[in-house]
Chains A and B, each alone.
Chain A
C-alpha cells in the first residue's frame, strides 16, 4: 500500500470514457450494491458480543466502518443513509470515550436498530437509483489490449442469449481474447444484425422464452436465407440427447453446456473461425524396414503432416527430445527391440506417458494384437495399409489426442499450462540445460492487489484480468518459452536460452505492456500491474531451487513496492536465510492482507 504505482485501481486520466453523470451513476450503484455486505459485516460483529464486553479494536473497526459509510453516503447524496451512519458512529464513539455509561447490551440494541434502518434505506435507494439497467453489451470490455497484432481481433461474433447477464459476461471474456463480440438478448435483433453484417460465427442459446427450441430454429431460418456457411456454437443448460440432436440437425458445429467454460468455447471459436490451417501433425515412424518407414513417412508428408522416419529403435528417445511428436507409428516386430518393449520404455518416461502409439504390423491375430496393446499402445493398423487409410487413421487419432492433451495440461480459465504441466516443463528444461550446458531462466509473476480487483469489481472482472495477462504472456513470449498458471493470480514462465539480464528485460517489457492495459468494468476504467521474481540456472541448480529462488525474488519485488521485477541472487548462506525468509514471508502476507482488507472495508 505504500507505493503509489502499486495501487490496483487507477482512474485513467484526462479522458473520461463516459459522461460525468454516467460515471457517477455507476459509482453510486456500486456503492449501493456493496452496502449490504458492509452492513452484514457490522451485524456479525455486533451479534458476536452476546453478554461479553466488546473490545476496543472491534469498536474502533465499527466506528471506522460507520464513519466511512457516512462520508461516502453523503458524497453520493444518500443523506438519510449518511445521517443514520452518523448516529451509529456517535453511539460507538460514546462507548469508546466513556466506557462506564453504556453497556454492551445497550449499544447492541442501538446498533441493531440502526442497521435495520440502514438496510431498509439501502433497498429504497437501490429501487430509485437503478432506473436504467445498462444494455448487455455495454458491460463488455472494449479491446483491452493496445496491440492489435492479433489475428482474432477482426473476427466478429454474434452472441444471442435471453439472459443479459450471461451474454454480457461471456462477451466480455471472449473480448479479452481479441474477438469482437456483439451480444443480443432477442432472436429478432440477432436476425436483423445478421442481415446487416455477416459474423464469423454465431453463439446461440437453445431455449428462449418464446420457444424452447428457438435457437436451432433461428439457425435453420438463417441457413435457409442463404447464410449457409455460418458456423454456430449452441449453448444450453440442456445436456439431454434431444437437445443435442436438434442442435446437430439445425447445423450446429459445436455444443457447450452452461455454465460455459471460456477456454472450451475459445477452442471451438478458434477452430471454426480460423482461416489458417492448424499446426501440422508431427508423426514419428519407427520401422526396422527403412524403406517402409520412409514410405509411410512420405505418405504422411504428402497429406500435409510432418513425419520423421527412423529404423533404429535406439534413436527414438533422442529424436523425441527435439521432435515434438503428436503420435508414434511403430512396427510391432523389430529385431533389436520389439514394439511393445519400446512402448514400455516410452511409458516409463514421464514426458511420454500420454504420447499416442499406434502399432503397424502384419499381425492379424486379434488376441495377439490386444496383448501387444496392453504394453501401452493406443491402436493397431494392419499391414499392408492403404495410403489413404493410413492418413485418415493418423489424422483422426492425432487430432483427438491433441484435444485431449490440451484439456489435460491446460488451465481451464486461461488456457495456459496448468501447475503440474509447467512444473514438468521446468524439470525437463533444467535437465536439458544441464546436458547441453545451456542457459535457462524461470520467472514467477503475481498480479498486484488482485484481491482488491475482485472485491471492487467482482470475480468475473478478476477473471478477465487473469485472462488478459495470460494472453499478453502468450502473445509476447517466444514460441519455445513455456507459460503456465502456477495458481490463483500467480503465473510461471520458463525461458530457454536467455541470461538473467535478458530474462529480466523480457519480463520488464511484459510488465510495462500489461500495466498499460486498460480494463473496463461497470463503466469504470482501471489498470493492473504485476510483480515478478526471476531465477536462473545454473545459479540455482534444481527445479525446486529455481522455483524457491524465484518465489523469494517475487516477494522481494512485492515488498519493494510492487510493479517491478527482481532477480534472485545466489546466496552463500542460503540455508540459514531460509528460516528468516519464510518467517518474513508470513509476516508480509499477514501485513498485506490486513492492509488490503482495511482499505476496502472503510476508513
Chain B
C-alpha cells in the first residue's frame, strides 16, 4: 500500500516507515503538515493511507486532517500521539484511528493498516 507518513520528529517518522516497510508497504516520509498538503495536492500521488503525528509546529495532525477533508480529500487518516489518544478521537470521530506512540506501535500499526 502507498502510505504517507507525516512526522516532524525524524526518529518517530523513520521508525513508522521502518515498521510499515517491513510489511511491504511503500512509505513516503514528510516532515510537516504543509509538506503533506502540498504532496497530496497533486492527484497523481495516489496515497492510500496517511499516518500523521499530532503534535507538529504550524499545522497539527488534527488541523492537517481537517484541512484535507475540507479540500475533499478522503484518504484514510491515522493520527499518532504521545498523549492519551481517547479524547482526541472523541474530538474528531471521523479519524480512522488514533494511536498512542509507544513500543506496541510495532504490532498495532501494521495490523491497523491491514484492516483499513
Contact = CB atoms under 8 A, between A and B. Distances in A.
B53 A599 contact: no
A11 B82 contact: no
A3 B35 contact: yes
A76 interface: yes
B34 interface: yes
B30 A4 contact: yes
B21 A11 contact: yes
A71 interface: yes
A587 interface: no
Contacts, number: 122
B39 A4 contact: yes
Contact of A13 (B27, B39, B100): B27
A71 B101 contact: yes
Interface in A1-36: 1-4, 7, 9-11, 13-14, 16, 19-20, 23-24, 27, 30-31
A82 B12 CA distance: 13
Contacts of A1: 31-32, 34-35
Given A7-B29, A24-B18, A600 B10 contact: yes
B8 interface: yes
Nearest to A600: B10
Contacts of B75: none
A400 to B, nearest CB: 49
Given A599-B8, A603-B9, A79 B103 contact: yes
Contacts of B27: 11, 13
Interface string B13-27: 011111101101111
A31 B103 CA distance: 14
A interface residue count range (under 10 / 10 to 19 / 20 to 34 / 35 or more): 35 or more
A1 B8 CA distance: 10
B15 A76 contact: yes
Contacts of B100: 74
Given A75-B11, A599-B10, A11 B31 contact: no
B93 interface: no
Nearest to A596: B31
Given A23-B22, A27-B18, A79-B103, A67 B55 contact: yes
A600 B14 CA distance: 12
Contacts of A77: 102-103
Contacts of B11: 27, 30-31, 72, 75-76
Contacts of A82: 102
B34 A598 contact: no
B38 interface: yes
Nearest to A26: B18
Interface of B: 8-12, 14-19, 21-22, 24-32, 34-36, 38-39, 53, 55-57, 80-82, 100-103, 105-106
Given A11-B28, A75-B101, A603-B55, 7 more contacts: A14-B24, A23-B22, A24-B15, A30-B11, A74-B103, A75-B16, A602-B9
Going nearest first, the 5 A-B pairs with the smallest beta carbon separation are A20-B22, A77-B103, A71-B82, A4-B39, A74-B102
25 contacts: A2-B35, A2-B38, A11-B27, A13-B21, A14-B24, A16-B21, A19-B22, A20-B21, A67-B55, A67-B82, A68-B9, A68-B82, A72-B9, A72-B11, A72-B12, A72-B15, A74-B82, A74-B100, A74-B103, A75-B101, A76-B11, A82-B102, A599-B8, A603-B9, A603-B55
